[in-house]
Structure formats: structure tokens, C-alpha cells
Amino acid sequence: MDWNNIIEGIISGVSATLISTIIIFVFKKIVGNKSKKEPNEIEKASLSGSVLNNPFLISLFITSFVVVLTFFSMIYQWQLFNYVYLIVADVGLGFVTYWIYNNQCPKCNAIFKKKLINKETLKEEKRPYHYRDETIYYYNDGETIKDRKFQGKEKIKMELWRTEKEFYECQACGHKWDKIFERNLDKDNRPKPNKVRTRFNPPNNLGY
């Protein structure tokens, strides 16, 4: 490792730290203020208090830090921290951050303490789903799409939607909250496209 690598690492680390800190600050200001203005909104992860005591903000900081490092890795062509591996880490950290945001206690920020205590159906209703008959043409490998075509006029299929409400309790502090969401009960029954496998070879520029 020469001085150029050391300087690149220092610049990248400092930049990633500063950018991640700014992201946390802006996120707390924008999302935090929005939640205060809408008290009837479904409770989400708390953004108040110290970052060090908030698993979601810690995860968001780490994710932002790694994303910035990924950018520098692509610029400097690092071998030790290859950007391909960092991109995989970005995706994984993104899922973890999203999970924490939706599952940590809105009051005490505890994770792995969310317990479903009850749920109820608020309503069920029919909603229209608009579609047209579709045919997908594949190359002879059966995987690469060659073309898509739609036939006929637009059709309407009525689908059953259910609005549900789930009630949760934090096993750490006893805080209770709820979440309302919609579920499409007929989503798996939507009309499937007609698939046709042609005799044509895939284009060479796709690696075949």
C-alpha cells in the first residue's frame, strides 16, 4: 500500500462520514417533522433522541457510509474493497435498514421485541383491474424476451381487496401500536400472458 492508496482511503472515509452524517441530519429533520405534523399517521420508528440509541439511524448511517464507499471504489478501482462486493453489501444493508424501520418499537426503539397481539378485518371490497391480453415471445433459449404484444380491447376483472388492521405490543416497554394495510386476495389469479417460444437465436450482444 503506497501513499496514494492511503490518501484515497482517508479522503473516502472522511467524505463518507460527512455525507452519512448529513443524510442522518436531513432525514431526522424532514421525516421527523412530517411525523409531528401528522399525529394520526401510523407509528413508525422514532427519529428523536441520540443516533447511538436508535438502531434504525445507526443502520441508516452504516448503509449510507457503505454506499459512498462504493462510489469511491468505482472511481479508484480498489482491489481490496471491490465495488461489486460493496454493491451486494449495499443491498443487504438496505434490506436490514428497511426491516428495522418497520419493526422497531416507535417508543423505546427496541428491535426483536415487536409482538403481534391481535388483528381484525376492517372491510372487504371489489376493485377493478384493467388489463389486455398479452403474448410474450421468447428466443429459442426460452428465457430471453424477444417481443411483447397486446391484443384486443382493454378488459376489466373485479378483484377482492381486504383492509386489515394489526395490533402490536413491545415486549420491552409495553408500548402498543397498530398498522393498517391492504391485501389483494385475487392478485395471484390475475390473467397470465401467453408465452411463445420462437426458433430465433438470441442476439450475440446478449452474450449468447
pLDDT tens-digit readout, 117-132: 999 999 999 999 999 9
Distance CA 127, CA 125 (A): 7
The pLDDT of residue 37 is 42
pLDDT tens-digit readout, 146-186: 999 999 999 999 999 999 999 999 999 999 999 998 999 99
The pLDDT of residue 84 is 86
The pLDDT of residue 8 is 72
Residue among 117, 33, 21 at smallest CA distance from 60: 21
Give the 3-state secondary structure of residue 158.
Answer: strand
pLDDT tens-digit readout, 67-119: 988 888 888 787 767 788 889 999 999 999 999 988 999 888 899 999 999 99
The pLDDT of residue 25 is 82
Average pLDDT score over residue span 9-24: 82
| Cα separation values, 195 from 140, 191, 203, Å | 12, 12, 19
Predicted TM-score of the model (pTM): 0.66
The residues pairing with 134 across neighbouring beta strands, listed in sequence order, are 150
